[in-house]
Homo-oligomer: A and B are copies of this chain.
Amino acid sequence: MNGNRFGRLFQVTTYGESHGDAMGVTVSGCPAGLELDESDVQAELDRRKPGQSMITTSRGEPDAVSINSGTQDGYTTGTPIGMVIENKDARSGKYEPFVTAPRPSHGDFTYSAKFGTRNWGGGGRSSARETVNWVAAGAIAKKILEREGIQVKAHVNQIGDIEAPPVTFEEMLEHTEKNEVRCAHPETAERMRDRIDEYQKAGDSIGGSIYFEARGVPRGLGAPRFDSFPARLGKAMFSIPATTSFEFGLGREAREWTGSDRNEDWEFSEDGDPVPEGNTHGGLQGGITTGQPIYGEATWHAPTSIPKTQKTVDWETGEEKEIQVVGRHDPVLPPRAVPVVEAMLNLTIVDFMLLGGRINPDRLDGRPGEYATEYHPSSPDNE
């Protein structure tokens, strides 16, 4: 209801503002028996953290995570995992001009209109800083899914008018993390980089998009209708700040396709299973997974905080005024949103795996109801 909870059986609950004391996330519903320590989470946070390059904000956050509960001797215990990430480099002062004079197209005004107040430093709760919590939770989901042979990957496929050609999953795995734009097509990545530079130098920002793919998701996940896989994934994607579109399979283009072109005949796989002859359907039929790769894309509008002069009004003084939002802001969102998209995919999938009975909700190994005969903290067998 209040916007800080995600997941039905794999439950994520968050708190924190951009310039508050700390960000925090509680993960409940992670089965016992998963090997987990802070380095697993830190690896993902490091991919998202600010200050990675010239095209990201220069805010100096180490984003160091502490796990406060839910593990014993390096393994999860099935009880809630509490994590805290302290904010170390918050400088609220430069946001003072905007307290009652909202930045154009930012959440400043709607938050104040809703709550009659807001944490105004750095955008407060409306800041994309919140997504650090999601990436922390997603890191745990990812570790569970790896055991099941499920893998997700995303990359930036368009920035402004520069669009990358289609890439394979393998190319995404190989190239995405090797350039600061996180585009899996290296040549396009360079062009994107230059284009971002141009906008940044002009005191402006630019929109972009991300393509994602999930491999190894078993067929039969997703309930009909309101809990269909696309409904849940759509909700996940539109939760990410600044998302304005989401599509899967043929997406928006499907409006121009005939049934006979889009439909895919069934054939037998080598194992004698019915499989569709292609994957225009994006891994989802009737809202339920087919076992084919799930793919799609989403769009992020340009960051609203830009140095260019803009006009606003001050609701306290009644004055019209000009503002410049200088400081530490990303000129484009998708490069840092790639790990966020992956996190939301992992969180969505692991939740469906639990709901579909594919993962034991209490513990990853062992029969349900069997107690841990061999467990002892000093035993070499305790793993």
Contacts and interface: CB of A to CB of B under 8 A. Distances in A.
Given A252-B245, A254-B302, A220 B369 contact: yes
Given A24-B24, A117-B375, A357 B356 contact: no
Contacts of A209: 252, 255
A327 interface: no
A239 B230 CA distance: 7
B160 A256 contact: yes
Interface residues of A, number: 175
A270 interface: no
A149 to B, nearest CB: 13
Number of copies of this kind of chain in the complex: 4
Given A104-B276, A117-B77, A267-B313, A13 B13 contact: yes
Interface string A285-320: 111111100000001111111101011110110101
A6 B255 CA distance: 26
Given A110-B288, A264-B105, A68 B252 contact: no
19 contacts: A1-B28, A2-B223, A4-B226, A5-B28, A33-B115, A102-B274, A104-B266, A116-B363, A205-B260, A231-B236, A245-B245, A250-B301, A252-B299, A257-B302, A260-B310, A267-B313, A268-B320, A274-B313, A355-B361
